Structures are given as structure tokens and as C-alpha cells.
Structure 1
Amino acid sequence: MKTTNYSEIAENYDHNQYRVSEISFDYDLKEYVDHTRKSEYHVLDLSCGTGLYLEKQVNYFSGFNIKWNGLDLSEEMLKKAQEKVNNVKLVHGNVEGMPYAPNTFDFISNNYSFHHYRDKERALNEIYRVTNKGGIYKLHNIAIRDMPNWWVYHYFPTAYYEDLKRFWSKEIIFNELTTRGFQVNMKMDYRMDEILVSDYLNYAENRDISVLTLISDKEYEEGLDKMRYDVSKNPDKSIVNDFANIYCLAKK
């Protein structure tokens, strides 16, 4: 399985406006806090990247006694996170061997990153270990097998085959979590619509979508040239696009 070198895309990572704007108030965290009375809460943003999730949640939950933590394998991404957040303990580390004691966290948020882990079984063992009894592990990711018409795969078809190597199916995720003793509630949302290719060209040019860093430069340039050609021939060129998100709440 190939892995993305985030030191190469850290500088451009936040330039993707969709990535910035799609993060909203974490109602699952709020529900946990409302139904679990504690003097303080320990929250971990796992693979926190540039701190986009932490930045918003720290502001949203400013009235609560939450000890915020972020862990990431990329020092360059953590540097970007440090520019955004205060009073957050950011740690450089690997999810497959986290530097935390057992039963440390009440709530672990894991957004768009599980597919990056080389040893997913070991990662889940670690996640279970550091989660408090009654705590929540929240996994949020795209479900690639339910979105074969994603615009990325339309213009960069080899990207789909790279993603098949990286992403577990929703069935495997469910089974692996339940096997470890988590109580799992999994939901999905899906949409199919027509999109203007011109609206997505800058995302491709930014090359911050992780799978676009895994295909060859030749395959990337060919897809980018096809997008540019389609837009130049018809600025209103549209294609069918589908997108699927998976939301998994796992209670220990």
C-alpha cells in the first residue's frame, strides 16, 4: 500500500475550501458531554492534520472543561495546527503505537484518515486501548466502493485502484470494531448529482487530495489535461458525480 507524504502537501492542504468549510459542530461530542457527567473531558483528534477540526471545536465548546489533544505523524501538518489552536496538546506520533496510557480518552475523533494506516488492525487495538470505558471512537471517512462515479475517479481512473488498496469496506470496519468489543452504530449519506467540471479543476491542480499524490505524475498530468481540455471546450461541461460518507460511532 502506498502512503501519502504529507510534508509535500502540508502547505497547500488548507487551500481546499471544501475541506475547510465542511467541518461543522460535532453533535456527537455534544451528545456525549450532555449524557456523561464528568468534571472534565479528554478529547483526542486522531490524525489531526493541520488542526481544522480542533480549531472549530475548541471555539464551539469553549464553555466546557475539555482537555483537547491532537496526534499526527506529520510534523509539517502539526506545525500548521500549532498556528491555529491554543490550549491543545499536540503530539507527533503514530496511531499504531500511541504515546498515551490506557483508558485516557473519553472521545476520539478520526476524520478522513483511517485509510492511511498501514496496519489497521494494530491501529484499532491502540484506539481501543486508549479509549475510556464508556468512551466513544468516531470514525468519519468516505466510502469509495459506494462512489465509483466520483469526479476524481472519472478523470484519474487509476486513483480508484489505489484507493481499493487503502480503504476497508464498511462491512470490514463494522466487524473489526465489534470483534474488539465496541458497540457500533454506523450510518452513511450518499448523493449523486451533476457537477460543473470547472468548479473542481482547482482542487485537481492543488493536488492535495491524497490519492492524487499516489498515482504517477504521468497519470496525474493526463487527467489534469483532460479536465482542462473539457473546460476549455465547454466552460459549462458537467459530469455525473457521486459521493458517499460513512459515520461510525463505536462505544467501548
Structure 2
Amino acid sequence: MLSTTSCSIIAIHNLFKTFQLKSKSICAVCDVTLDVIRGETLGIVGESGSGKSTLARIMVGLLKPDSGLVEFEGIDVHNPSKSERMYLTQNIQMVFQNPYASLNPRMSIMDVLAEPFVIHKKFNSKQALKSRVYELLEEVGLNPQWANRYPHEFSGGQRQRIAIARALALKPKFLVCDEAVSALDVSVQAQIILLLKRIQKEYGLTMVFISHDLSVVRLISDRVGVLYKGELLELNRSSDMYCNPQNHYTKTLLNAVLPADVSIAKSKLEASA
């Protein structure tokens, strides 16, 4: 397992983000420093309100921190030049939790998947553009003949596959999945995890996989970080984290997950394969 900062694709330094809630200030991300190693899948776990989604949005540039720095291949994610911004939008993508809300209901799937190519002027030929959209649908296990359908005609799992296809359109280097399977049935979760694992290998992606479900994170992650009230309490190899947690809170989280949960999740994954 790579472990040196020279191999990192994302470097996060002393990140802080607070929100004002009435008269109270909430620190959602509190002095977080970490590196995401190129080619790995880094899992981020924590209970609701621990700062996972806030960290994810800061990481991809959707939310500015109060202080601290996020660098992608040495580029300041929150203060890029015009050319750097274009590079970042092509190479950093995110898959959100809710597959029902992340797709425009008024756009056909063809238009949804074609949009990134149109924005970045990737194709001169409409036929070439359509062919690439069909390829994307096939890559995520959907029938290309469904391209003219609309989001409401698909199940939750199918919509999440479409969201993943859209994220992959420009062949990014870095993908953040923020609770990307939590709204899905357990059997569908296993299918999406398998898809993500295959895509990560085929595309050479670096991924951050965020979830409150430790049994799911264990199935996909090389390393795991534990967030609690905005603080990164522990960061370790997945195997070490689950076998020998160093932090008391991590132990509490693991004790809340029955061993059977992990076994069931593994069985679902194997059955889907």
C-alpha cells in the first residue's frame, strides 16, 4: 500500500469549516489533514452530523473552507486559474446520495449524459456524441436503448448507475461518492459497490467513499478514516482498522456493527458477482 505524500492526488491541510446555527457556532470540519493516495479507495465513516458530507463538498470544490488548503495534483481547488478550473471540473467528480434528486427530471438520459461533453466541447459530430453516451450506459450495465427515457422511468439503483455514468463521462481521475448507496436496498447496494470496484480498476480512478455504514465501507476501501464531530480521529488501512482499532470511538462504532452485518454484506456482494 502506498503511503507517501509524494504519491497523493489530493492533499488536505488543516481544514476548518464552521456553520452558524442560531447563536451557536458548529465546527463541521475541525483541523482535518490527510492525503488521498493515487489509485486507492479511501473510506470515510462517521455517524450523522460528523462532517462527512461537508468534507466531501470541500474536497471537490463545491464548498469553501473557512481556512486550510485542498490541493489536487498541486492545484489549489478553491483558488484555481481559469485553465486550472477547467482541468479540475474534468478530473474531479462526485456521486451524491439521492439518485432521485441528482438527475434533472425534465432531461432525457441522453441529454443528461451528453451535457458534460457539450459544455466541454468534446465532440463535433452528434453521432459520435450519441455513440459515447451509449458506451457510458453499457459501462454501467444499462441498455443503450433506454437513452431516450426520463429519470422517473428508472428504479433507484438504475438512477444511481446513470449518475455514475455522468460522473465518468469526462474520464476523471478522482471520484467522491457521498453516501452513494445508502438510499438503496441492500441487494442493490452490493451491485453498485461491485460496479464502483470494477470502474475504479478500469478507469484507474482514485475514490473517496463516504458512508455511515462500516460494513459497506469495509467491502470497498483500502484505507478508512473515522470522523467524529468534524475531527479525523483515526486513519488506517482497512484491515487494521477493523481488526485493531486504535481510537475508543472507532471501537464503539465497530461494536455497534454486528459481525453478521459484515458477513451478510460480503454474501450479497459475492451473490451479485
TM-score normalised by structure 2 residue count: 0.31
Higher relative contact order (CA 8 A, sep 6+): 2
Which TM-score applies when normalising by structure 1? 0.33
